[in-house]
């Protein structure tokens, strides 16, 4: 983590402790509004946008818990009643059976790289809220990239349901937009969905010493030149930072 971002987080958490109010939804720091409550933050973005793209970490349960904690409010307050999720499209019939109560959530096949037990809780919560659960991931191998495949599933759904609002839950790499690669050009899911009214949120695992996650917009004032570990691991141009590739971020507590 950069020293700049560490100071920002420390300042925010200090303000929250002073107020004694963990449910405070907006604070003021560095001249900009910052939402600290991830549920309120995600709900506000889902209310404003047609598609809320939420990036996840396949092994970190905190981000999956944030999503399950937010779904009810996103349905009731933002009318986001469809969830597109990174599960192979071949599992759609099994998902339909699960939603109808004819099979359990363990029957749905998910990628073996998803080790967080809370991932399936997203499906349970979505079903209990009567959300439409749409599997969008490709089988491997696929004749086209996974990002393009997932975008096609979302596009096809919107051809039949043009007025619906939705939430997309996929690995964080897929919601990064406008990446400039060193040696190739590979559009992300967010790039393919650029014609929709979208908002892209990424997680930063192990970013905060507090037990509470913190959510905020990615602004040049705070994030100019800042890269999270995911960006540092990607073969992209050195000048690419969070400012240009995502709209919002959730700083997750350290796994203890």
Tokens 């405070």 correspond to 24
CB 63 within 8 A of CB 56: yes
Domain boundaries, the chain: 3-253
The tens digit of pLDDT for each residue in 56-66 reads 998 888 999 99
pLDDT on residue 184: 81
CB 117 within 8 A of CB 167: no
pTM: 0.89
Which of 152, 153, 134, 118 shows the shortest CA–CA distance to 80?
134
CATH number corresponding to 3-253: 3.40.50.11550
Cβ-proximal residues to 153 (8 Å cutoff; 6+ apart), any chain: 84, 89, 134, 135, 136
* Dist. CA 188–CA 177, nearest whole Å: 6
How remote is the C-alpha of 6 from its chain's centroid? 22
pLDDT on residue 115: 86
The helix (run of H) or strand (run of E) holding residue 29 is: strand 26-29
pLDDT on residue 15: 44
Separation in Å, CA 77 to CA 94, 162, 187, 254? 29, 20, 32, 30
Separation in Å, CA 211 to CA 91, 116, 152, 208? 35, 18, 38, 8
Tokens 């691991």 correspond to 233
pLDDT on residue 60: 86
Joined tokens for residue 211? 């037990």
**Cα Rg of the chain, angstroms:** 18
Task: Please list the pLDDT of the chain residue by residue as tens digits (256 residues).
Answer: 455 555 555 555 444 433 333 443 445 544 445 546 899 999 999 999 999 999 999 888 899 999 999 999 999 999 999 999 999 999 999 999 999 999 999 999 998 889 888 999 999 999 999 999 999 999 888 889 999 999 999 999 999 999 999 999 999 999 999 999 998 888 999 999 999 999 999 999 988 776 778 899 999 988 989 999 999 999 999 999 999 999 999 999 887 6
Exposed e or buried b for every residue in 33-70, given b needs 16+ CB within 10 A?
ebbbbbbbbbbbbbeebbbbbbbbbbebbbbbbbbbeb
């Amino acid at each position: 983590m950069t020293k700049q971002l560490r100071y920002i987080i420390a300042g925010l958490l200090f303000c929250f402790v002073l107020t004694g109010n963990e449910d405070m939804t907006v604070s003021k720091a560095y001249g900009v509004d910052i939402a600290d409550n991830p549920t309120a933050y995600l709900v506000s973005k889902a209310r404003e946008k047609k598609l809320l793209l939420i990036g996840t970490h396949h092994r970190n349960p905190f981000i999956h818990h944030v999503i399950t904690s937010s779904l009810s409010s996103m349905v009731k307050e933002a009318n986001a009643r469809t969830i597109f999720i990174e599960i192979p499209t071949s599992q759609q019939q099994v998902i339909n059976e699960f939603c109808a109560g004819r099979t359990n959530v363990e029957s749905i096949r998910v990628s073996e790289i998803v080790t967080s037990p809370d991932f399936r809780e997203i499906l349970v919560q979505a079903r209990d809220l009567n959300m439409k659960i749409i599997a969008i991931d490709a089988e491997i191998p696929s004749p086209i990239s996974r990002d393009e495949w997932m975008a096609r599933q979302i596009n096809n759904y919107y051809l039949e349901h043009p007025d619906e609002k939705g939430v997309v839950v996929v690995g964080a790499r897929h919601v990064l937009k406008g990446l400039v690669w060193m040696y190739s050009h590979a559009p992300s899911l967010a790039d393919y969905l650029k014609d929709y009214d979208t908002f892209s949120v990424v997680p930063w695992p192990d970013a905060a010493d507090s037990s509470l996650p913190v959510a905020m917009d990615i602004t040049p004032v705070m994030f100019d030149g800042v890269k999270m570990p995911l960006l540092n691991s990607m073969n992209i141009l050195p000048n690419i930072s969070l400012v240009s590739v995502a709209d919002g971020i959730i700083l997750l507590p350290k796994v203890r």
